A and B are shown apart, each in its own frame.
Chain A
Amino acid sequence: MEFETIRLETEGQRARVILNRAGRGNAINVKMVEELQAAFHRIEDANEVRVVVLAAAGPDFCRGIDLTDFSRERIPDIHGFSRWEKVCRSLERLPAVTIAATDGEVAGGGLQLALACDVRVATSRSFFHFHDVRMGFIPGMGTYRLAKFIGLGRARRMALTGRKVQAEEAQRIGLIDHLCGAGDLESSVAAAIDEFGPIHPEAVELIRRLVDESYENPWEDFLGNFLAAQDRAIRSKDFRDHVARAHEEAGKK
């Protein structure tokens, strides 16, 4: 299946999802929502993918939602927003390390996608904003995720003013993880991936889920979650292999 609004490039353990509506600043339309969902499902089903890079064609990562997709006459229905959050959630729950690579404008739904990733790498030209408030609507479940990255006070200011946060400030406040020169996005993404070492998808998925849930549960509840997750992790082939190797190495000495 060929996509129209995105590109999906898979090579061995790496997948690249590229927002591909450069002519419209990669604005998110209904088609893109469908295609992103299909791409993330395809990645999930292809068991071998370990790293997913989310990038964009053209000078801007994503200008946010494509307002021309809404009818001028009718009030839009809410289910589209529900489908969009499902897309963000699919990205957020992938059994692979996810990296957003941004340049230029990162707005609205584009920023929501970046926040759903494990790591954000941005060029110095990147700037981030939830401009939705200026148009009289809500920056999706970005309202749920943003404060967890930058704290409540900063999140309020950012989401309520819709002001632009430049790349340097974004790094300072924890909105992005890596800042690079305009021409160094590729190599910076490669360096960000190298930080990971061997990637065990089961562990990545479980750890990410636990860390994400850490603000939401009291210790007693969280302990049960952890034990259930750890029980799954220690049954995995990856972990059993590591144990076997440790025994072999100990035997050699």
Chain B
Amino acid sequence: MGAKKDPASRAGGSIFPRVVSIGTANPPTKYTQRELVDLFRCDDPVLTQFFTSSHIDSRHLVLPAPGPDGSIPREDGTVLLEKHRKYSLQVGSEAVLKCLGARGLTPQDVDSMVVVTTTGMLCPSLSALLSAHLGMRRDVQRIDIVGMGCNAGVNGLFTAARFARANPETNVLLLSSEICSAGYVFDMTVRTAVVNSLFGDACSAVLLRADDGMGWRDGPRLLDFESYIVHEAARDMRFDFENGLWSFYLNRDIPYKIGATIEKPVDALLSRHGLKRRDIDHWLVHSGGKKVIDSVKYNLKLTDWDVRHTRSVLRNYGNISSSAVLFSYQELVREVVTREGDLGVVIAMGPGVSLETGLLQW
């Protein structure tokens, strides 16, 4: 491969952090879309369609046991927040232990950590609770990124990457914890059906390390990031606090607004390194929903093959918010198709409207 395929050579010798491990986990119970329609006693055909035509087969969710009539009882705000706390710790720990264990490490080996979530506000924060829960060192440096939405997997990545780059040969952990069923408000309106037919529960952890002794087989280097925010669409994707519950709102034009903008950060990111989209071997795109994926595909000229992991993550887990791109990354790792010098682009979008992109190289 020619000079084009070696953007990192321009960076003047600094050590780029690599993604050296990944672990993922989900709550144990998985529901098909049909089961959910039945459990929520939804007999409105319009609402049912949101569930059955969503290109999602099943999702992991934490739902209360059905009442005597077989339907799911309502949960109040206190119950939902406790759900977020309990399962973020439980499922998040599982993801962290898998991620560290794959490298023969323990929570004691973590030097700093970035924790990302949008499914609940806790104080002390999730990173504090998690460090105690996992018995991490007391000098672990922590940062919590709360409330940024689906794009925050990439915001977390660039935060962790800067941590790692500034502190070579230390272990930087990124955890994304999205217990979306802790925001499960379904009141038989189209607004809540759109949202509650889509999101699923998942946690994912990656370990970053800037280390001269590591090579491409240890994982891809995180070379660069580019952000773009569409201020005009700030109200199109948002949480509203209604009757003591957080209710998510998605404007139906969001997929098209993302499509109209997505080229800007991607091309800015690539052109900075003398790259074109055709130079990219692997695309890791957020599994936002069928329409968002279509929009990204046609505007960036990607193929179904390029977004195969994006689609399979959506099909098997639903929209798992900031964890989706990390799940896609795990699918790619499992394929064992990456080669030395391969380039990847990660793209995630969410409220803001935020488009977050990153460039990886194996």
Q: Give the chain A neighbours of B301 by CB distance below 8 A.
A: 93, 205
Report the bound CA distance from A224 to B256 in whole Å. 11
Report the bound CA distance from A232 to B295 in whole Å. 9
Within 8 Å by CB of A41, from B278, B290, B294, B297, lies B278
A231 and B260 within 8 A (CB)? yes
Within 8 Å by CB of B298, from A44, A90, A220, A228, lies A228
Q: Give the chain B neighbours of A220 by CB distance below 8 A.
A: 53
Q: Which of A230-252 contact B (CB under 8 A)?
A: 231-232, 235
A224 and B290 within 8 A (CB)? yes
Q: Give the chain B neighbours of A235 by CB distance below 8 A.
A: 260
Residue interface mask A69-104, B partner, CB < 8 A = 1? 000000000000000000000100100000000000
Q: Give the chain B neighbours of A231 by CB distance below 8 A.
A: 256, 259-260, 295
A228 and B255 within 8 A (CB)? yes
Main secondary structure of the interface of A (DSSP, over half): helix
Within 8 Å by CB of A228, from B259, B276, B278, lies B259
Q: Give the chain A neighbours of B53 by CB distance below 8 A.
A: 220
- Chain B, Cβ-Cβ closest to A222: B294
Given contacts A41-B278, A231-B256, A235-B260, whether A224 and B291 have CB atoms under 8 Å apart is yes
Within 8 Å by CB of A225, from B256, B260, B276, B294, lies B294
Report the bound CA distance from A85 to B260 in whole Å. 30
Decide yes or no whether B167 CB sits under 8 A from chain A.
Answer: no
Report the bound CA distance from A241 to B276 in whole Å. 28
What's the minimum C-beta distance from B194 to chain A, rounded to whole angstroms?
Answer: 15
Decide yes or no whether A227 CB sits under 8 A from chain B.
Answer: yes
- Chain B, Cβ-Cβ closest to A90: B278
What's the minimum C-beta distance from B298 to chain A, rounded to whole angstroms?
Answer: 4
Number of contacting residues on A, CB 8 A?
17
Q: Give the chain A neighbours of B291 by CB distance below 8 A.
A: 224, 227-228
Decide yes or no whether B299 CB sits under 8 A from chain A.
Answer: yes
Decide yes or no whether A33 CB sits under 8 A from chain B.
Answer: no
Given contacts A41-B278, A220-B53, whether A228 and B297 have CB atoms under 8 Å apart is yes
Q: Give the chain A neighbours of B299 by CB distance below 8 A.
A: 228, 232
Number of contacting residues on B, CB 8 A?
15
Decide yes or no whether A229 CB sits under 8 A from chain B.
Answer: yes
Given contacts A220-B53, A224-B290, A224-B291, whether A229 and B278 have CB atoms under 8 Å apart is no
Report the bound CA distance from A93 to B297 in whole Å. 14
B294 and A224 within 8 A (CB)? yes
Residue interface mask A196-233, B partner, CB < 8 A = 1? 00000000011001000000000010001101110110
Q: Which of A54-73 contact B (CB under 8 A)?
A: none
Report the bound CA distance from A53 to B278 in whole Å. 22
B298 and A229 within 8 A (CB)? yes
Report the bound CA distance from A111 to B77 in whole Å. 65
Report the bound CA distance from A52 to B310 in whole Å. 34
What's the minimum C-beta distance from A204 to chain B, rounded to whole angstroms?
Answer: 13
What's the minimum C-beta distance from A35 to chain B, rounded to whole angstroms?
Answer: 14
Q: Which of B257-299 contact A (CB under 8 A)?
A: 259-260, 276, 278, 290-291, 294-295, 297-299
Q: Give the chain A neighbours of B298 by CB distance below 8 A.
A: 206, 209, 225, 228-229, 232
Report the bound CA distance from A228 to B298 in whole Å. 6
Q: Give the chain B neighbours of A227 by CB distance below 8 A.
A: 256, 291, 294
Report the bound CA distance from A81 to B278 in whole Å. 18
Report the bound CA distance from A44 to B276 in whole Å. 11
Given contacts A93-B301, A220-B53, whether A228 and B260 have CB atoms under 8 Å apart is no
Report the bound CA distance from A50 to B256 in whole Å. 27
Q: Give the chain A neighbours of B255 by CB distance below 8 A.
A: 228
Report the bound CA distance from A41 to B279 in whole Å. 11
What's the minimum C-beta distance from B303 to chain A, rounded to whole angstroms?
Answer: 9
Q: Give the chain B neighbours of A209 by CB distance below 8 A.
A: 298
Residue interface mask B109-138, A partner, CB < 8 A = 1? 000000000000000000000000000000
Task: Name which of B255, B260, B278 has the most chain A CB atoms within 10 A of its CB.
Answer: B278
What's the minimum C-beta distance from B315 to chain A, rounded to whole angstroms?
Answer: 13
Residue interface mask A124-164, B partner, CB < 8 A = 1? 00000000000000000000000000000000000000000
Report the bound CA distance from A59 to B342 in whole Å. 41
List, sorted by A's number, 7 A–B pairs whose CB atoms are closer than 8 Å.
Answer: A44-B278, A90-B278, A224-B290, A224-B294, A228-B259, A229-B298, A231-B256
Q: Closest 7 interchain pairs by CB?
A: A228-B294, A228-B298, A224-B294, A228-B295, A231-B256, A229-B298, A232-B299
Known A224-B290, A229-B298, A231-B295; further 13 A-B contacts with Cβ < 8 A:
A41-B278, A209-B298, A220-B53, A225-B294, A225-B298, A227-B294, A228-B256, A228-B295, A228-B297, A228-B298, A231-B260, A232-B259, A235-B260
